[in-house]
């Protein structure tokens, strides 16, 4: 019998959860803001983590749930993206100012989107 250790590498992906402004406002705290990204091994793991702090208790009946947890493994990306665009390329809008990044090791970072540049006239 060998004493060799086999190391298994599981690729991590980023899963995006976008907050609906249910009731006309966004919830913002240490864990969430308009956009939330969770780094995980699978969509199922990302959903489990998201459900711990993405709360739908204050959703309103006319606007719908504040959070949607409909992601699958194919939705995961190597870097955080919104509609296929890396967040480093996403610009600030009235509904999208920043994102919370939840790393698999437990770290959380806030990412501020770049200001939209005025087009020359």
pLDDT tens for 54-69 read 888 888 888 889 999 9
- Answer whether residue 19 shows pLDDT above 60: yes
The answer to whether residue 94 sits within a structural domain is: yes
Residue 89 half-sphere exposure, CB side, CA atoms within 13 Å? Answer: 8
CB 12 within 8 A of CB 41: yes
The answer to whether residue 55 sits within a structural domain is: yes
CB 53 within 8 A of CB 76: no
The answer to whether residue 5 sits within a structural domain is: no
The 10 Å Cβ neighbour count of residue 66 is: 21
The answer to whether residue 7 sits within a structural domain is: no
Sort 76 into a burial class: Cβ within 10 Å, 0-12 / 13-18 / 19+: buried
Measured between alpha carbons, how far is 53 from 33 in angstroms, rounded to an integer?
11
- Answer whether residue 38 shows pLDDT above 60: yes
pLDDT tens digits along 68-111: 999 999 999 999 999 899 999 888 877 788 999 999 999 999 99
Structural domain that includes position 80 = 13-112
Higher pLDDT, 107 or 119: 107
User: What is residue 91's predicted lDDT score, i.e. its pLDDT?
Assistant: 86
User: pLDDT tier at 1 (50, 70, 90 boundaries)?
Assistant: low
Higher pLDDT, 88 or 2: 88
* Structural domains of the chain, count: 1
- In order of 15, 29, 56, 108, 121, the CA distances from 101 in angstroms are 10, 13, 19, 5, 36
Measured between alpha carbons, how far is 116 from 104 in angstroms, rounded to an integer?
30
């Amino acid at each position: 019998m060998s004493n060799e250790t086999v190391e298994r590498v599981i690729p991590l992906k980023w899963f995006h959860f976008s907050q609906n402004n249910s009731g006309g406002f966004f919830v913002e705290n240490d864990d969430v803001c308009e956009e939330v990204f969770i780094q995980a091994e699978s969509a199922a793991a990302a959903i489990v983590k998201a459900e711990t702090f993405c709360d739908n208790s204050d959703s309103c009946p006319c606007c719908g749930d504040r959070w949607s947890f409909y992601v699958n493994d194919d939705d995961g990306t190597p870097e955080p993206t919104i509609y296929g665009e890396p967040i480093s390329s996403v610009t600030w809008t009235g509904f999208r100012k920043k994102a919370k990044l939840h790393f698999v090791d437990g770290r959380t970072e806030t990412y501020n989107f770049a200001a939209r540049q005025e087009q020359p006239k």
